[in-house]
Structure formats: structure tokens, C-alpha cells
Amino acid sequence: MKQLLILSGKGGTGKTTVAAALAHLGSQELPMVLADADVDAANLELVLEPTTLAEHDFRSGQRAVIDAQACTDCGVCETVCRFDAIISPTDAPFGDAYQVEGLACEGCAACFYQCPEDAIRMEEQLAGRWFRSDSRFGPLFHAHLFAGQENSGKLVALVKQQGRDLASETGARLFLIDGPPGIGCPVISATTGVDMALLVVEPTVSGVHDLKRVLSTTEHFGVPAMAVINKADLNVRRSDEIATFCHERGVELVGRIPYDTSVTEAMVQGQPVTAYTNGLVSEAIRGIWKGVKAHLLLDE
Amino acid sequence: MIITVASGKGGTGKTTVAVSLTLSLAAADEGADPVFLDCDVEEPNAALFINPVVRERREVGQMIPQVDLELCTLCGRCAEVCQYNAIAVVGEDVLVFPELCHGCGSCTLNCPTGAISEVLDVMGVIERGSTQSLRSAQSSSSTEVGGSSGRIVFAQGILNVGEMMSPPVIRQLKEWGIPPDSDERPVILDAPPGTACPVVEAMEGADFVLLVTEPTPFGLHDLKQTVEVARDEMGLPVGVVINREGVGDQGVDAYCEAEDIPILMRIPIDRGIAEAYSEGVPLVEKLPEYAERFRALYASIERLVGESKELVR
């Protein structure tokens, strides 16, 4: 079983479009398992229309809670908190005791240990949910991190672990993961242990800049990468610049997808673009699927 | 006034809107110089469009424990109080794992022998500077009158490759980059995508959150989650900019109407804008008629912030 992660650095370059289309094309040829590792803006499910089979709580992290009865307003908690998460009685909207600003609290428990009155307790957080679903292209693991929560990396790791286990058990050939944007915690978590990253890049100044940073990240963690240029004809010169850059860095460019509104039309219809139209975009993605198969040795 | 420009979904036009809003305000004949902070420290892009001259640079990160083994009795209290498993007593040594540490200082506070001090673990850099004056030569007389120079005061954070946590870099960027007189001048923050802790950090302390979305199912789905963070969890006033109007469907319009969220601006889908963007040319430079519209956008935000402050009173 091979694990392929779709990444981009910059957001909105077409990760999910490519992931959904590869799921559509790939599932016709070999058994696969899918995962959406963009847990704070999960979109793959909008195209795959999955049926949820099981739903689980994601409990992670904790938050301080101050008992207003026991609090003597000494202010030690405010002094030790480095995250500005303690609201003093003068600023608190209700009541006259110290309070905790939930989103700012990082659950470090410094206040819990320092409170002389033992008026603070730590409460475990329900930080999100994760789902095992069935989609028309194979089993899908996805998740929803609640608004403003931390530990997205842990939830990504959990979703990946579940998907990988099922893929191994069922003898799936490919585990396809739609990744998050950026280069931080959830991206690092998504990158760990995969066989290949497919970088979706757009031919813009931002796209080029962000490609370099995400490629440095995959290199840092020892994951080989391939690239595709989305909206390639928007700026042919920049696309060529990306092709040269990829060549120099030993990253194979496996395709150029043209700029076309059919991509958005397909999204509105809840369809992978390759299932929606047989135009130039679909043709390009079929070529990319061939390239992916060749690189991951899935033809053997 | 601090405005955070956010989106949930990436690539909807946060940077386009934040940059053009700031450029339009800087080019106006009146008002103080706007301040721009690029808080997307994982993938900072705004400098590619604003071209600031960086004058100061500072390494940032968080304070991590350093154990003096002369004083340490290997009692293990530090490991017991650490909620992140970032410090452990192993045999005759104490190991610190910087990538797990949140820099909370609880181990330092709890060490019974005072054996822990803290050192900076560098996670990235913050930079600041400004642009050249954007005002036309004819109107430069107002410089002496209003005290503004037509420049953009710029700051950005850059997370080092391989670092997990961006919030500490964003936090320090804000402390360093937001001027004390932020009530009297426009301060525009370009947020990272998503709805998790880095976005919260970029919204914390803002007077208004401007949500840039595209009228598609993906845009709508992620817009809803960002409204949950900004309005429902953080209690901040929000407004929407619909970018690439003309593609997609009516879902975002319907949602905003149902939720009583003002749509403050609409930017049509235009291959010309996308091509200019690809070369690092901001929207208002490509289509100068937008400058007035962005200044009107700022005026509507000022009004909405005023109204929401009235409500709180």
C-alpha cells in the first residue's frame, strides 16, 4: 500500500480538486482508502458525498476553569498565565471573580498549580469529531476540528492512522490524503510517514514563493515530492519558471492543468471535475494519474 | 482600528483584499498612515505585492526550560506539571523537547530547587519597515497638514521551515507591529487560512473581522466555520467580501442574509485580475477605480464597529 499526500503551501490552489479527481480516476483501477487531513476546513466530503458509518469524539487538550465561589481575587493566576487567558474581575463581563478566556487558554495548567486556594480545575476539551464514511470511491476518513481549537496536528495524525490501518487490513493499494495548507503543525503531521507528496502549485508570485517553502518542508521530513501546476495558462512564463525550479530541485512535474471555469462548475454540482466533464482539465488530470501511478509503482 | 482579514478557505483573496484596502488608504489625501501586518507566518505573501523596505528584523520563538543539573535533584516535578510531555527525567538527566513545549513556564514555577531557567528557542523571525510614499506629488502638501506621509507601515512574521507552532510568532508580531495609537489609524492584519489556533491568534484583539469568500460550496462551508470562530466564539463584528462573483452559486448570499451578516463588497470574477495577481500586481493598481471602493469599504467597517460598540454600551 502506498500513501500519497496532496499539499500546496498556499491555500486555494486546487488540492481538493486534484484529490477528488484522482479518487475518481484511481478507484476505477485499484482499491483505495481516502482521508481529508484539512481538519479545520474540510472540503473533500463536499465532493465525495459520503455516507457516515461511524462518528467519534476527539478529546484533546484541556482548559482551566475557575470556581467563582472559591476564588479570592488574589490574581496569581493572571500573573503566571503567559497566554493572556485570565480575565480579571474588573474586565469580566459577569460576576466578580477571575475568569478564563476559553479560546486563549492553552491548557498548560500553570494557574492550576499556582492557585493558593485550589480554586482552579482543568477540564478536558471536546475538540472535534472524526468520521469513518463510505464514499463512491472508497472508504473516507475525515474530521471536523471545532472552532478555534488547538491540536489540529493530533487530529490529522488520528485520521491518517485510522485510514492507514483500514487500508492495510483491506489490502487497498493506495491511501490518498488531501492535505491542509501552510507548513506548520497540521502539515507536518500530514507529511509524516507518507511515500510521496503531490504539490499543487499555481503560477503566481505567491504560488511560487509558497511552493519553495512547502517543498523545503517535505524535504526536511524526507518525503519525496512531485508537482502539478494548476491554472497553468494563467501565466505561462511563471509556469515555465516553476518547471525549471522543479527540475533543478529534482521534483518531477507530472502535469499542467489549464485555467477553466468547469472546475468550479463541477464543485457546485458536487462532482469531481473528471466525472463532470471530459474537457482539457480532465485530460490533464488523467495524465497526472498516470504519472502518479508510475512514480508510486502502482502498475506493478 | 484593527481589522483582521480572514477566510477559512485558502486562496479566496484575503491578501488581495487586505493589500488593496491598505494601498487605497495610504494613497488617500487624509488620514494617518495605515499599518499592515502579514500574520500568515507559514506562507507570508503580502510583501510580494506591497514591496516594503525592511529596516528591522528580530528572531522570535518561545522560552523553553534549561535545567541546571548542579541544582536539579531529579525529583521529576517538572515532568509531572508539564501538560505537553515536553520535559522528562531520564536516568541522571533531564531532557527537554522544544517542539512539544508551549513556553508556559509552569516547570520553572514548580521546580522546588530553582534549577530551571529559560532560554529562547527560535521559531522564526519578525520584520518591519515601510513602503515609499504612495501619494501623488501634487497632493504632498497635505503631508505637512495631516502629519501622514502616504506610506504603509509594514510588518510580517516568517515561521522557520520545520517548526510546528505558528501562534507564538503571530503573537509576537502583533506585540511588535501594532502601534500604540492603533485606535486612531487603520491597522490591517492578513490572517492565515483555516479556523484553528493560528487564526484565533490573528483575530484576538481585532475590532472587526473581514471575511473574504468565494461564492462556491467550498467557500461557503469554510465561511460558516470562520463565522463560528469570529462572531460566535470571540464575539467580534464581522462582514463579508465576496470575491470572484459570477462563478459558483447563490449559497453565500443566502447564508449571509439568513445570518444577518453584511456583504460589504463584491469583486467580480475577472481573468485580468487573476493575471495581474500572478505577476504581483495588486488589484487597485490594475484597476485604480477600486481605490474609492476600498475606501468606502473602510468607511462601512468604521460605521459597523461604531454601532457594535454602541450595542455593548
DSSP per-residue string spanning B208-253: EEEEEE-SSHHHHHHHHHHHIIIIIIT---EEEEEEEETBS-SHHH
- Quick one: CA dihedral B278, B282, B286, B290, positive or negative? positive
pLDDT band at A12, cuts 50/70/90? very high
Averaged pLDDT for residues A170-187: 96
**CA nearest B226: which of A87, A17, B234, B184?**
B234
- Domains of chain B in start order, with CATH, are 2-60+122-312 (3.40.50.300), 69-114 (3.30.70.20)
Planar angle of CA B36, B39, B45, nearest 5 degrees: 80
Q: Residue A148: count other Cβ atoms within 10 Å of its Cβ.
A: 25
Task: Tell me whether B108 touches chain A (CB under 8 Å).
Answer: no
Across the interface, do B222 and A41 touch by the CB < 8 Å criterion?
yes
Interface of B with A in 124-153 (CB under 8 A): none
Q: What is the CA radius of gyration of chain A?
A: 23
Chain B nearest C-alpha distance from A171 (Å): 32
Q: Residue A8 above 80 pLDDT?
A: yes
Chain B contact set for A265 (CB, 8 A): 247
- What is the pLDDT at residue A198? 98
Among the partner-chain residues A12, A38, A110, the one whose CB lies closest to the CB of B11 is: A12
Chain A nearest C-alpha distance from B276 (Å): 9
How far apart (Å, rounded) are the C-alpha atoms in residues A114 and A108?
Answer: 12
- Domains of chain A in start order, with CATH, are 2-49+136-295 (3.40.50.300), 61-126 (3.30.70.20)
- What is the pLDDT at residue B310? 84
CB A201 within 8 A of CB A207: yes
Across the interface, do A11 and B11 touch by the CB < 8 Å criterion?
yes
Among the partner-chain residues A103, A106, A108, the one whose CB lies closest to the CB of B233 is: A103
- Can you read off the three cell numbers belonging to residue A283? 485530460
Average predicted confidence (pLDDT) for chain A: 95
Which of the two residues, A210 and A102, has the higher pLDDT score? A210
Chain A contact set for B163 (CB, 8 A): 184
- pLDDT by residue (tens digit) across A232-263? 999 999 999 999 999 999 999 999 999 999 99
Taking CA atoms, B21 is separated from A82, A119, B17, B31, B199, in Å, by 33, 47, 6, 14, 20
- pLDDT by residue (tens digit) across A66-88? 999 999 999 999 999 999 999 99
- What is the pLDDT at residue A90? 83
- What is the pLDDT at residue A299? 75
How far apart (Å, rounded) are the C-alpha atoms in residues A113 and B114?
Answer: 16
Among the partner-chain residues B103, B197, B216, the one whose CB lies closest to the CB of A268 is: B216
Task: Tell me whether A297 touches chain B (CB under 8 Å).
Answer: no
- What is the pLDDT at residue A89? 87
- What is the pLDDT at residue B251? 96
Interface of A with B in 3-32 (CB under 8 A): 8-13, 16
Across the interface, do A40 and B194 touch by the CB < 8 Å criterion?
yes
Taking CA atoms, A94 is separated from A76, A98, A293, B311, in Å, by 20, 10, 60, 16
Q: What percentage of residues in chain B have a pLDDT greater than 90? A: 89
Q: Residue B144 above 60 pLDDT?
A: no
Q: Residue A11 above 90 pLDDT?
A: yes
Listed in sequence order, the residues at least 6 apart from B41 whose beta carbon sits closer than 8 Å to its beta carbon are B124, B156, B157, B158, B159, B166, B169, B170, B173, B192, B198
* Phi, psi (rounded to 5 degrees) for A122: -105, 130
- pLDDT by residue (tens digit) across B146-181? 456 789 999 999 999 999 999 999 999 999 999 999
Q: Residue A204 above 60 pLDDT?
A: yes
